[in-house]
Structure 1
C-alpha cells in the first residue's frame, strides 16, 4: 500500500505555446503579482532555454534540424546555445528584480535538464518532501522540462529514456510512493488513454519542421 501520493501537472497552454514558441523565464511574474511567492524563483523556475528563447520550434527545427533541436530541448546534459546580451529578451531576464541578489556568474545564460534539476532539487528536498511526509496532498504544477526533471529524479530514469519522454500538457500525473519516496509503480496518467497519447504526440510534434 502506498504511503504517500504525489500529483504533477504540466501547465495549460500560454500564448507562446499556441504560437509554438520556446518559453522563457517569465512565468513567475504572474505569481509575483499575485503575492504567491514563497520560494526564490531561481530555485523553482523552469529550464532556461538560452538563445532558443522565443524562437518558433518548427522554424528552429527547419534551420538546425529536428535532431539538434531535440537534443537542445530534451537531452539530459547538453545545454542549448547561450543567451547573448543582444538577445531581444536578455534584459527581461538579466534585469528582473527577482534576480537582483545574484551576481552575474550566478545567473545562468542557458541550462540543460541536468542544470535545472540541480538548481531545483533544494526546493524539492526542503519544501516538497517535508510536506509529502506530513501526509499533505501535494500537487506540483510546473512548466516544460521541470516535471520531466522530477520524473527522472523519482524513477531514476536513464538519459536515453528521459530524452524520449514527452509529458502531455494539462493531464495530471500520479505517483504512489513508498515511505522512502520511491514510486511503487511507474508513472500513471489521469486521463483516457487515447486523449493522453494524442496529447503526447502533439508535444513531440512541436519540434518538427513543417513540410
Structure 2
C-alpha cells in the first residue's frame, strides 16, 4: 500500500543492532555505534520503504548515534539524505541507571533473575538510579504531542528512528494500550511500522513493513 493512500502517516523504526546489543549489555543512554548487522537492518528497512514509494516531510531521532545512524541510512535509501532531521534526547532510550554497561547475565548474578526481569519488563518499576517505562513515557509523550504531532496533523509524512522503549511509550499512547500490554510488545530492529492516523492524530491502522 502506498503512503499516498492516507493523509496522515507516521512511520516508526527501532534502530538496528548496536555493538552493545551484540555483547548483551544494558545500553540505555550510553552511545555505542551500530554493528555491521545493525547497519544492514537499517538499510533493509529503508529499501522496504522505498519499494512502497514512501517519502517524508520531516524526520525525528534521538541524541544517540545508533538511532541517528539508522535514521541516516533509511533516509538515504529512500532518496532523502538531505531531509530535515530533528534530534532530541527526549526520544532517547530508557535510562537504565546502574545497569548501564553491565552484561545482562552479570546483572542477573548480582541481583537475581527475578529482580532483573522486574526491572526489564514491569511498567512502573525502575532499576537503581534509572527510569521505568512509565518514566520514559512521561518525557516521550509530551515531546511527541508538542513537537511531532503538529507535523502529523498538518498532513506531513513523519519518520521517527528511535529506541525500543521510547517507541513502546509512543505506541502505548497511539494504540491505547495498558502498561501491562505494552511491556509485552516486542519491536524488531530495523522494521518500519506505518501508522495511519486521522486528522486529530488518532489511530486508524498500522502496518509492519517486514517483507
Would the TM-score normalized by the shorter structure come out above 0.5? Answer: yes
Residue matched to 1:121:
141
Which of residues 169, 181, 200 is equivalent to 2:201? Answer: 181
Distance 2:179 2:142 in 1: 21
Conserved? CA contact 2:25–2:103, under 8 Å: yes
Contact kept in structure 2, 1:20 and 1:57, CA below 8 Å: yes
**Residue 59 (structure 1) aligns with:** 106
More strand by share: 2
- Alignment partner, residue 161 of structure 1: 181
Whether the 8 Å CA contact 2:30–2:100 is kept in 1: the answer is no
| Contact residue 75 and residue 162 of structure 1 kept, 8 A | no
So what's the TM-score if we normalise by structure 1?
Answer: 0.67
Query: Which consecutive unaligned segments of at least 5 residues does structure 1 have?
Result: 83-109, 193-211
- Aligned equivalents of 1:39, 1:188: Cα separation in 2: 25
Cα root mean square deviation, aligned: 2.4
- Residues 77, 115 of structure 1: 8 Å contact kept: yes
Distance 1:135 1:125, change over 3 A: same
Q: How does 1:56-205 map to 2 (within 5 A)?
A: 56-82=103-129, 110-185=130-205, 187-192=206-211
Secondary structure of 1:128's match?
Answer: helix
Q: How many residues align?
A: 160
Q: Which of residues 92, 100, 105 is equivalent to 1:45?
A: 92
In the TM superposition, residue 59 of structure 1 has moved relative to its aligned partner by 3.3
Q: Secondary structure at the residue paired with 2:95?
A: coil
Q: What displacement does 1:166 show?
A: 1.2
Matched, 1:4 2:8: yes
Alignment-derived partner of residue 16 in structure 1:
20
SS of residue paired to 1:77: coil
Q: Displacement, 1:37? A: 8.3
Write the distance in 1 (CA, Å) between the matches of 2:142 and 2:193.
22
1:22–1:178 Cα change, 3 Å: same
Change beyond 3 A, Cα 1:66–1:122 = same
What's the CA shift string for 1:55-92, capped at 9, x where partnerless? Answer: 1123323544444323212321111112xxxxxxxxxx
Name the SS of the counterpart of 2:180 in structure 1.
helix
Q: Secondary structure at the match of 1:147?
A: helix
